[in-house]
């Protein structure tokens, strides 16, 4: 499992966002806006008395192309075998997942499903190339799990027609298209984003698409249909097959020739051709919005039954004002084709809107104007776009306002909230003009979080009169601070060292992470420097246009005296590429290989050979790709001739090929994308592929590079290219051999040693060498960075890599020590040690020079030796200190500051954490396949993620608690602060902010068997602290504690709700639950256990469906054991068998945890459920032990280690608990194993070791079966079976000595030749003592311990305690036995001659002497323990009188005897014939025996 936490660093300028699509979710009230850059903003509706506000919560990063459309879906809706089925849009139990999700599609075919409950992307997939580019998303009416997506192939503006600006219309852009449109209509399952039906694929006889809708079946329509309409009012109906026989990307269900489809013309005979601007559907009514009017048609046949003119309401005025959109308000399925009353809104290109109430009854159509929304107050030349969308009782107007910075255009979103009129109000009573109820702006948080003023950001807000106003915000930018590109320099570095921003004015700014470099200073013996708490900034100027791309490269080889070490590359709108020295900030060279803006820089892959490992590619708008060498500072290759712009470029360093994918943006229906493949070495064009073959080959390149990639970024290092650009592929399981932390040796293994590199290897001094760094393999790099959008930088902290950094087996790789200097890089380059910000980049070089290296002991530095090196204590301590610095850096960025001031002060003073004051930091959560949800600046947005996502709460809490505990192990000086930090995220945070979500229990369970102890313990601590608040509703008991639906999307049970036991449901009046109640309860539990597929958390940790299923079982079992009063009584019965199956499945992740829970709750919970199945389960475990032991010899080491770990849990934890739960059954099983398994089987040793644990854990319950226990132990030491004796002897003797130590009625003489076993509990007239010979392991004598009646009152019962303690005399010639029941001591004289004479006679041997013991003070046959146990065993639950015990059964009496059995008696010999009797180490008396053994007489 992967536990990764995100920290997002925002630039000082807010992101631009031109809205191209909107969607709204009513519960909870949420707005989503999609942008032209692929970003999606998540807005929450925050209501307060008299005012509402739209607050931006997070930026959803999953697309790198314009958002085509957004839609609402319910991914967890019920379905049958993947077919479209009807659903009630609810699950069988309340779930947070039922609140809906957002599905988004961008123009390059990537689909994402964003969970509203968890806030992250639960699925991310790319449509196949044949599907085309998504254009519109609509829900499938009868099942919200499925959505219908229309895709097109021509170059259409992927902006919704409702977002047209100014006087522009969709028809103006594309009035005539003589060729038939090629489009695809598919049905998508939103659960896994698979294609379940292909409705249409091919050319259709209509023009450019306008809209699409899904119409439900009716009396006139037998099948569900997809209605597709073009810009000219031409309509086609496409039937949807209800139950497709095939699923996926198979043959289309309809004929490929769609030109014969019936086309209906709904142009209405308008004078103005192509005036249709919008299309809306509600139930069986279709609305066609034209520029001046709107017509309403019946969905079945297209018959017009109503019309509204917009000319009467000033929505239209000549060419200045035109209607651009219209939608129905309310539920989409609430209108029939007969009688209805519905609200409809239409708006124009200045944001003015009119709300109509339309009705249709008795073939009479009526429309009334009920409300008007005024237009926006921006200057007439301002470019605007609008959309309206209903949200609960409000109507939202989403505005996009354009502002200019020099020749560039930027857009900002603005949302206004208008209160909708009520349906039951009379039109005459309604206010004609709506009042604005609230608004939302994206810039507010930047103004709040930035330490500088708004004018420093270039933002000026003014109204029409030039005065500042909040009601009429017109934003302009002063320029100079708008980010055009950004990147994080982190590749090949221990931690991110800097963020680089490129601006639209051509400037470049470098901001370094001095919160980490300052911590590193403590590891370097140098003059202390005063660290800049705000970080150091470096400005570079020179570009005449916007900086469009950035990259940084660390030189591998040296050539011709070049002193280049770390180079910054920048491409600009001015068509140039500039090379900068990253250490000094000096300009190296300006390249002019392009005649158009430079859009992308591609660095060489890690596998590149010399000399290509010091080259880079540039991609320009001139459709040319150039290869530049940093050694020669010249353009070495040009790859021209691309017909279109190479939007995606991949460099395969293994095969030395460059793949350039050029999308065809032409208007032709048969336009095909083209892939060019170039040979880097020769510069020749190897192949040109088109269409689907181009995409398939590009994906093949992508997968091949991904499998052999060492870095965490497909862009091969530090570049500004978005991590979302490349195709979405299935994750691979391939691992690069080797792992760990070591100095970077960037020179390729195949690189020839040039004279310069040879000299550098032989190097001169410790100060020589360039910018080197501690290097991490991709699977161990603790912090990875990316920039999904300009100005948005993310740092991903991998918990496993952070904790495993200084593991001893990972300190060096292939003999390369962590402290070793690599002089092959940067010979002749010096870095001033007094330059703090340079040491941040060259930290490992300087640290390496300070630490002794095994390869530099004699003052000589050489290449990496093949001989193994020894990790010295100094190096280990250096790595531990380095790890501590890295943990401090991580905690500084991940901690939620300003919530607990006392904790913050403790962290800064004791733990030495640095507040990230120089950065605008927020949080985030990773989604499926690289997608991210990033909260906006400000504490409210981050807290909203805590309040809405239990997955985020679990991941962030687990990371913080684990790192805090791990930091204690590294440095005890900060133990107080670490403990306070762990306590804050465990429980104090929930106390301070009561409405945050408790951690997801299933997610925490998945880390219970983590390889690192700190992670494991943190997960378990968080589980116990959150369990009472996070019990899933289907498992929650409504008897002891009632749950109230106080949360919008119920998922957990809060502590407050547990106390409200009588306010929700009336009392049951003492009636017992009926069988129907049990059936309903079991159905709810079963439904929850089988609902593992609906959970979102598995995509957060990279889990599988199996992980979800098994974690559900473990959570249910843990709650049944630890919180039985809070869960339903039937839960234990329902989950026990799945739990047992999970244990026996030997699952590497969960079987051990399941075994522990099964063992811990065996007596209290599981024994009542599976009591009769325990012996079979014990036998199954022995079988697993046999299989694991047999397979381990042939299995791989990794598999063997996992199997052995599970075996240790089964043997060490589960098996003893099963044995203690059913001791007779266990003894029967192990006795049968003697004969059914091989003599050398490990099963016998396991049985003995388990027996020892049972002896220690439940000795009294084992007392009635001591004879079987001893017999089994002696059988394993049988001299007749030498194989078993040899393999089991040591364990058998250990078990035997443990039996003698625990049970006083078993004695072993001093020479260990004789063993005596007395009856602890038995019939008083048949009590015996068996004597065994330890050489032959056979029974040699039986002593009669029945004795005389003694005191009658003490011998009433047939079954009682017989022998309390035994002891051999020091000379081994006598045996003494004391019986508490009868208070007598008996002596058997066992002379050696007597033993030889009677050695083969098993007749009962009477005692030699009898001594009665006087009752001691406090002794009573009816002790307090008896009275207590009697009350426990009574059927009526009342305390019994002494006489009532006569009604007990034999089983009750046996339980009472076992409970009262005293194992504290002891006999100590004082001299040869005196013995002292003790109880609980208190002396009860001393008794003398005469020398009777010599006479051989008996008394």
Residue 863 has what pLDDT?
Answer: 38
For residue 1489, the number of C-alpha atoms closer than 13 Å in the C-beta half-sphere is 33
> Mean per-residue pLDDT for 1195-1215?
69
Question: How many other CB atoms are there within 10 angstroms of residue 734's CB atom?
Answer: 9
d(C-alpha 1167, C-alpha 284), whole Å: 60
Distance CA 464, CA 382 (A): 12
Is the pLDDT score of 1278 beyond 80? yes
- In three-state secondary structure terms, 238 is strand
Token representation of residue 1288: 């089991």
Q: What is the 3-state secondary structure (H, E, C) of 438-460?
A: EEEECCHHHHHHCCCCHHHHCEE
Q: Is the dihedral of CA 1001, 1007, 1008, 1009 positive or negative?
A: positive
Mean pLDDT of 688-715: 74
* 1051-1106 per-position pLDDT tens digit: 443 333 333 333 333 334 444 456 666 788 888 888 888 887 777 788 888 888 88
pLDDT at 507: 92
What is the per-residue pLDDT for 409? 80
Alpha carbon 480 to its chain centroid, in Å, reads: 40
Task: Please tell me the distance from the alpha carbon of residue 544 to that of residue 877, in angstroms, as a whole number.
Answer: 50
Measured N-to-C along each axis, helices 901-909 and 975-983 cross at an angle, to the nearest 10 degrees, of: 150
Q: What is the band of 728 on the pLDDT scale with cuts at 50, 70, 90?
A: low
Q: Comparing 202-211, 748-757, 983-992, 1347-1356, which segment has the lowest mean pLDDT?
A: 748-757
Share of the chain above pLDDT 70, in %: 71
The pLDDT, as a whole number, for residue 193 is: 92
Going by the DSSP 8-state scheme, the letter that residue 868 receives in this structure is: P
Quote the tokens at residue 865.
């030796």
Q: What is the pLDDT of residue 274?
A: 61
3-state secondary structure 1101-1124: HCCCHHHHHHHHHHHHHHHHHHCC
Q: How confident is the model at residue 652 (pLDDT cuts 50, 70, 90)?
A: confident
- Residue 930, pLDDT above cutoff 80: yes
Three-state DSSP class for residue 1272: helix
Q: What is the pLDDT of residue 448?
A: 45
Cα–Cα distance list, 374 to 312, 377, 432, 433 (Å):
15, 9, 11, 7
What's the predicted TM-score (pTM) here? Answer: 0.83
HEC per residue, 718-745: EECCCCCCCCCCCCCCCCCCCCCEEECC
3-state secondary structure of 884: helix
Q: Which strands make up the sheet holding 1328-1333, listed edge to edge?
A: 1306-1308, 1314-1318, 1328-1333, 1338-1344, 1404-1405
Is the pLDDT assigned to residue 921 strictly greater than 80? yes
Question: How far apart are alpha carbons 507 and 493 in whole angstroms?
Answer: 25
Which pLDDT tens digit goes with each residue over 4-23? 999 999 998 888 899 999 99
Range of weakest confidence among 514-518, 935-939, 1222-1226: 514-518
Task: Give the pLDDT score at 275.
Answer: 74
Distance CA 158, CA 386 (A): 15
**950: helix, coil or strand?**
helix
Stronger pLDDT, 788 or 117, i.e. the higher one:
788
Neighbours of 635 (CB within 10 A): 16
What local confidence, expressed as pLDDT, does residue 392 receive?
86
Please state, in angstroms and rounded to a whole number, the distance separating the CA atoms of residues 212 and 367: 25
Q: Is the pLDDT of residue 1424 over 70?
A: no
What confidence score (pLDDT) does residue 517 get? 58
* pLDDT for 315: 81
How many Å apart are CA 1347 and CA 1326, to the nearest integer? 9
Q: Please state, for a pLDDT cut of 90, what percent of the chain lies above it.
A: 30
Q: Which is higher by pLDDT, 954 or 331?
A: 954
Mean pLDDT, rounded, of the chain:
76
* Pairing verdict, β 508-512 and 537-540: antiparallel
Residue pair 355/137 in contact by the 8 Å Cβ criterion: no
Q: How far apart are CA 1365 and CA 1479, in angstroms?
A: 10
DSSP per position, 513-529: -HHHHHHHHTTS-S---
Read off the pLDDT band of 918 (50, 70, 90): confident
pLDDT (average), residues 574-586: 91
pLDDT score recorded for residue 1366: 93
pLDDT tens digits, residue range 1331-1370? 998 888 888 888 888 866 554 444 445 677 888 999 988 8
* DSSP H/E element including 1377: strand 1374-1379
Residues 440, 17: Cα–Cα separation, whole Å = 14
Residue for token pair 């091989």: 1238
Angle of helix 950-970 relative to helix 1013-1030, nearest 10 degrees, comes to 140
pLDDT tens-place string over residues 330-340: 877 656 666 78
Closest by CA position to 826, among listed 888, 771, 767, 744: 771
Residue 2 has pLDDT above 70, yes or no: yes
- Flag whether pLDDT at 810 surpasses 50: no
Supply the pLDDT for residue 781.
76
Confidence of residue 876 (pLDDT cuts 50, 70, 90): low
How far lies 1116's CA from each of 91, 1027, 1094, 1103, 1149, in Å? 19, 11, 16, 19, 17
The pLDDT value recorded for residue 7 is 94
* Dihedral sign for Cα atoms in the order 1311, 1317, 1320, 1323: negative
Which two structure tokens, joined as six digits, stand for 1458? 């076992």
Mean pLDDT within 319-339: 78
955 band by pLDDT with thresholds 50, 70 and 90: very high
C-beta separation of 399 from 415 below 8 A: yes
pLDDT attached to residue 12: 85
Model confidence over 772-785: pLDDT tens digits? Answer: 344 444 446 788 88
Determine the pLDDT at residue 772: 36
Give the pLDDT score at 1432.
Answer: 44
Pairing of strands 51-61, 39-48: antiparallel
Report helix, strand or coil for 1066.
Answer: coil
Tell me the Ramachandran region of residue 269: left when phi exceeds 0, alpha when psi lies from -120 to 50, beta otherwise.
left
Band of pLDDT at residue 691, cut at 50, 70 and 90? confident
Instruction: Return the ∠ at Cα 84 (arms to 80 and 87), rounded to 5°.
Output: 75
pLDDT at position 756 is 41
Mean pLDDT of 369-393: 88
Which single residue is written with the structure tokens 């009604």?
Answer: 1447
Q: Is the CB of residue 797 less than 8 Å from the CB of residue 490?
A: no
Using CB atoms within 10 A of its CB, is residue 33 exposed (0-12), middle (13-18) or buried (19+)? buried
Q: Is the bond preceding residue 611 a cis peptide, omega within 30 degrees?
A: yes
Q: Which residues contact 917 (CB under 8 A, 6 or more apart)?
A: 451, 533, 534
What count of Cα atoms within 13 Å lies in the side-chain half-sphere of residue 177?
A: 28
CA nearest to 956, candidates 992, 997, 900, 915: 997
Give 855's pLDDT tier (boundaries 50, 70, 90): very low
DSSP label at 240? Answer: -
- pLDDT for 1492 beyond 60: no
Instruction: Specify the pairing of strand 51-61 against strand 436-441.
Output: parallel
pLDDT in tens, 1378-1412: 988 878 888 888 665 555 555 566 788 888 888 88
Helix axes 1105-1122, 1151-1160, angle to 10 degrees: 10
Instruction: Considering only residues 288 and 875, tell me which one the structure prediction assigns the higher pLDDT.
Output: 288
Nearest residue to 124 via CA among 75, 182, 168: 75
Least confident of 273-277, 1035-1039, 1224-1228, 1242-1246: 273-277
Residues 237, 224: Cα–Cα separation, whole Å: 10
Q: What are phi and psi of 1034, to 5 degrees?
A: -65, -20
**pLDDT: is 1396 or 1469 the higher one?**
1469
Residue 793 has pLDDT above 80, yes or no: yes
pLDDT value, residue 29: 92
Which residue reads 């007439």 in tokens? 380
For the ranges 517-526, 544-553, 1272-1281, the lowest mean pLDDT is seen at: 517-526
Structure-model confidence comparison of residues 357 and 826, the more confident one: 357
**Structure tokens belonging to residue 778:** 């991709």
Task: Report pLDDT for 468.
Answer: 33
Which residue would you say has higher pLDDT here, 696 or 1040?
696
Q: What is the pLDDT of residue 562?
A: 59
- pLDDT at residue 272 tops 80: no
Residue 819 token pair: 């402290």
Tell me the pLDDT band of 745, cut-offs 50, 70 and 90: very low
Distance CA 600, CA 722 (A): 10
Residue 140, both tokens: 């499938």
Q: Under a CB-based contact definition with an 8 Å cutoff, are residues 546 and 408 in contact?
A: yes
Does 880 or 66 have the greater pLDDT score?
Answer: 66
226-269 pLDDT tens trace: 888 888 888 888 888 765 444 444 333 444 445 556 788 877 65
DSSP characters for 1412-1475? EPPPPTT--SS-HHHHHHHHHH-SSSSPPPGGGGGG--HHHHHHHHHHH----EEEEE-SSSEE
User: What DSSP state is assigned to residue 1040?
Assistant: T
What 663-668 contacts at long range (C-beta under 8 Å, 24+ apart), as own/partner pairs, is 663/108, 665/155, 666/155, 667/154, 667/155, 667/174, 667/177, 668/154, 668/179
Instruction: Write out the two tokens for 1256.
Output: 């220690």
Q: How far is it, in rounded angstroms, from Cα 1478 to Cα 1475?
A: 10
pLDDT at site 850: 38
Residue the block writes with tokens 């989604």: 927
């Amino acid at each position: 499992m992967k536990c990764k936490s995100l920290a997002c660093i925002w630039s000082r300028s807010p992101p631009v966002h031109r809205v191209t699509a909107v969607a709204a979710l009513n519960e909870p009230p949420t707005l989503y806006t999609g942008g032209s850059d692929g970003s999606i903003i998540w807005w929450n509706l925050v209501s307060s008395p008299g005012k509402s506000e739209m607050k931006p919560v997070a930026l959803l990063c999953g697309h790198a192309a314009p958002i085509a459309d957004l839609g609402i879906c319910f991914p967890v809706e019920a379905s049958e075998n993947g077919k479209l089925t009807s659903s009630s849009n609810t699950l069988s139990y309340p779930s947070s997942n039922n609140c809906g999700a957002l599905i988004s599609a961008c123009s390059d075919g990537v689909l994402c499903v964003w969970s509203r409950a968890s806030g992250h992307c639960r699925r991310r997939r790319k449509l196949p190339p044949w599907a085309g580019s998504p254009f519109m998303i609509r829900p499938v009416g009868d099942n919200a799990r499925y959505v219908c997506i229309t895709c097109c192939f021509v170059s259409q503006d992927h902006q919704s027609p409702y977002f047209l600006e100014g006087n522009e219309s969709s028809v103006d852009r594309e009035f005539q298209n003589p060729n038939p449109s090629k489009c695809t209509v598919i049905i998508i399952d939103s659960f896994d984003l698979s294609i379940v039906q292909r409705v249409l694929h091919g050319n259709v006889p209509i023009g450019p698409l306008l809209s699409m809708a899904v119409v439900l079946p009716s009396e006139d329509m037998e099948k569900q249909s997809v209605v597709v309409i073009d810009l000219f009012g031409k309509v086609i109906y496409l039937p949807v097959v209800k139950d497709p026989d095939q699923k996926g990307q198979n043959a289309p269900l309809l004929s490929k020739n769609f030109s014969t489809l019936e086309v209906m013309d709904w142009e209405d005979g308008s004078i103005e051709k192509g005036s249709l601007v919008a299309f809306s559907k509600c139930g069986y009514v279709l609305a066609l919005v034209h520029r001046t009017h709107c017509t309403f048609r019946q969905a079945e046949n297209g018959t017009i039954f109503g019309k509204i003119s917009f000319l009467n309401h000033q929505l239209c005025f000549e060419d200045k004002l035109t209607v651009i959109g219209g939608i129905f308000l309310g539920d989409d399925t609430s209108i029939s084709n007969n009688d209805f009353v519905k609200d409809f809104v239409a708006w124009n290109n200045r944001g003015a809107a009119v709300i109509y109430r339309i009705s249709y009854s008795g073939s009479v159509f009526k429309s009334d104007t009920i409300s008007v929304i005024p237009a926006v107050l921006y200057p007439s030349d301002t470019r605007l776009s609008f959309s309206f969308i209903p949200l609960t009782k409000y109507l939202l107007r989403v505005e996009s306002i354009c502002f200019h910075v020099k020749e560039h255009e930027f857009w900002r979103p603005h949302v206004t909230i208008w209160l909708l009129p009520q349906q039951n109000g009379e039109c005459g009573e309604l206010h004609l003009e709506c009042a604005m109820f609230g608004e939302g702006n994206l810039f507010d948080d930047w103004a709040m979080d930035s330490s500088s003023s708004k004018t420093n950001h270039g933002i000026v807000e003014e109204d029409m009169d030039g005065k500042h106003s909040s009601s009429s915000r017109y934003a302009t930018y002063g320029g100079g601070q708008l980010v055009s590109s950004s990147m994080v320099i982190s590749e090949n570095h221990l931690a991110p060292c800097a963020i680089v921003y490129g601006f639209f004015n051509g400037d470049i700014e470098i901001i370094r992470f001095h919160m980490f470099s300052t911590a590193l200073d403590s590891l370097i013996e140098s003059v202390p420097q005063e660290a800049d708490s705000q970080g150091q900034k470096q400005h570079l100027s020179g570009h005449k246009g916007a900086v469009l791309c950035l990259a940084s490269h660390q030189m591998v080889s040296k050539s011709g005296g070049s002193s280049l070490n770390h180079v910054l590359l920048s491409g600009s709108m001015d068509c140039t590429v500039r090379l900068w020295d990253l250490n000094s900030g000096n300009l190296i060279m300006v390249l002019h290989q392009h005649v158009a803006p430079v859009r992308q820089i591609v660095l060489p892959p890690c596998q590149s050979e010399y000399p290509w490992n010091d080259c880079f590619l540039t991609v320009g708008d001139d459709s040319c790709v150039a290869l530049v060498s940093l050694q020669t500072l010249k353009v070495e290759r040009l790859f021209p001739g691309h017909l279109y712009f190479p939007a995606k470029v991949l460099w395969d360093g293994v095969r030395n090929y460059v793949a350039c994918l050029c999308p065809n943006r032409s208007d032709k229906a048969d336009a095909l994308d083209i892939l060019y493949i170039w040979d880097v070495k020769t510069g020749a064009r190897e192949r040109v592929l088109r269409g689907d073959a181009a995409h398939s080959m590009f994906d093949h390149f992508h997968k091949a590079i991904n499998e052999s990639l060492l870095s965490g970024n497909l862009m091969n290092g530090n570049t500004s290219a978005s991590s979302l650009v490349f195709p979405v592929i299935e994750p691979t399981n391939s691992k690069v051999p080797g792992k760990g932390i070591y100095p970077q040796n960037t020179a390729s293994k195949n690189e020839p040693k040039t004279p310069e590199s040879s000299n550098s290897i032989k190097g001169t001094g410790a100060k020589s060498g360039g910018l080197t760094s501690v290097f991490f393999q991709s699977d161990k790099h603790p912090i990875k960075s990316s920039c999904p959008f300009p100005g948005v930088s993310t740092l991903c902290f991998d918990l496993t890599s952070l904790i495993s950094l200084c593991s001893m087996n990972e300190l060096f790789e292939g003999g390369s020590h962590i402290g070793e200097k690599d002089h092959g890089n940067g010979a002749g380059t010096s870095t001033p040690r007094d330059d703090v910000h340079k040491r941040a980049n060259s930290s490992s070089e300087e640290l390496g020079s300070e630490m002794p290296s095994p390869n530099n002991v004699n003052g000589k530095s050489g290449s990496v030796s093949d001989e193994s090196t020894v990790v010295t204590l100094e190096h280990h301590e250096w790595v531990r200190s380095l790890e501590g610095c890295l943990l401090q850096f991580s905690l500084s960025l991940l901690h939620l500051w300003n919530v607990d001031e006392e904790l913050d002060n403790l962290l800064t003073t004791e733990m030495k954490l640095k507040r990230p004051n120089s950065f605008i930091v927020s949080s985030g959560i990773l989604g499926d396949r690289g997608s991210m949800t990033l909260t906006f600046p400000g504490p409210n947005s981050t807290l909203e993620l805590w309040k809405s996502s239990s997955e985020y709460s679990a991941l962030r809490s687990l990371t913080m608690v684990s790192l805090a505990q791990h930091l204690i192990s590294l440095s005890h000086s900060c133990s107080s602060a670490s403990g306070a930090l762990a306590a804050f995220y465990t429980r104090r945070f929930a106390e301070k902010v009561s409405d945050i979500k408790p951690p997801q229990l299933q997610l925490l369970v998945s880390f219970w068997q983590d390889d690192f102890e700190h992670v494991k313990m943190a997960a378990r601590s968080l589980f116990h602290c959150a369990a009472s608040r996070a019990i899933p509703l289907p498992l929650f008991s409504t008897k002891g504690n009632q749950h109230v639906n106080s949360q919008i999307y119920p998922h957990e049970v809060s502590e407050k709700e547990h106390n409200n036991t009588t306010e929700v449901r009336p009392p049951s009046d003492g009636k017992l639950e009926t069988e129907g109640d049990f059936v309903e309860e079991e159905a709810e539990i079963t439904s929850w256990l089988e609902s593992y597929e609906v959970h979102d958390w598995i995509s957060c940790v990279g889990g599988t469906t199996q992980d979800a299923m098994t974690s559900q079982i473990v959570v249910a079992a843990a709650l049944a054991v630890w919180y039985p009063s809070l869960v339903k009584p039937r839960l234990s019965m329902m989950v026990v068998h799945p739990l047992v199956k999970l244990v026996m499945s030997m699952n590497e992740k969960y079987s051990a945890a399941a075994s522990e829970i099964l063992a811990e709750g065996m007596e209290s919970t599981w024994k009542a459920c599976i009591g009769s199945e325990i012996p079979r389960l014990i036998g199954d475990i022995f079988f697993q032990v046999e299989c694991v032991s047999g397979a381990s010899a042939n299995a791989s080491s990794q598999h063997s280690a996992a199997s052995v770990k599970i075996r240790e849990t089964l043997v060490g934890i589960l098996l003893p608990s099963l044995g203690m739960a059913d001791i007779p059954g266990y003894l029967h099983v192990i006795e049968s194993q003697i004969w059914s398994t091989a003599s050398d089987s490990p099963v016998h040793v396991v049985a003995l070791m388990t027996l020892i644990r049972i002896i220690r854990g439940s000795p009294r319950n084992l007392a009635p079966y001591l004879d079987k226990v001893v017999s089994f132990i002696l059988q394993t030491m049988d001299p007749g079976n030498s194989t078993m004796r040899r393999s089991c002897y040591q364990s058998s003797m250990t078990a035997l000595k443990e039996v003698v130590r625990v049970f006083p009625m078993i004695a072993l003489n001093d020479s260990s030749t004789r063993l005596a076993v007395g009856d602890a509990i038995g019939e008083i007239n048949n009590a015996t003592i068996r004597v065994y010979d330890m050489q032959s392991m056979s029974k040699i004598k039986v002593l009669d311990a029945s004795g005389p009646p003694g005191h009658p009152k003490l011998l009433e019962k047939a079954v009682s305690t017989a022998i309390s303690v035994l002891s051999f005399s020091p000379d081994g010639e006598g045996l003494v036995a004391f019986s508490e029941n009868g208070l007598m001591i008996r002596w058997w004289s066992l002379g050696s001659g007597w033993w030889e004479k009677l050695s083969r006679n098993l007749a009962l041997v009477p005692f030699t002497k009898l001594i009665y013991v006087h009752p001691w003070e406090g002794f009573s046959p009816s002790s307090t323990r008896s009275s207590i146990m009697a009350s426990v065993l009574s059927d009526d639950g009342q305390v019994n009188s002494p006489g009532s015990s006569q009604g007990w059964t034999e089983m009750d009496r046996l339980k009472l005897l076992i409970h009262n059995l005293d194992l504290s008696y002891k006999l100590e010999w004082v001299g040869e014939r005196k013995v002292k009797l003790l109880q609980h180490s208190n002396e009860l008396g001393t008794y003398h025996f005469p020398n009777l053994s010599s006479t051989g007489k008996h008394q």
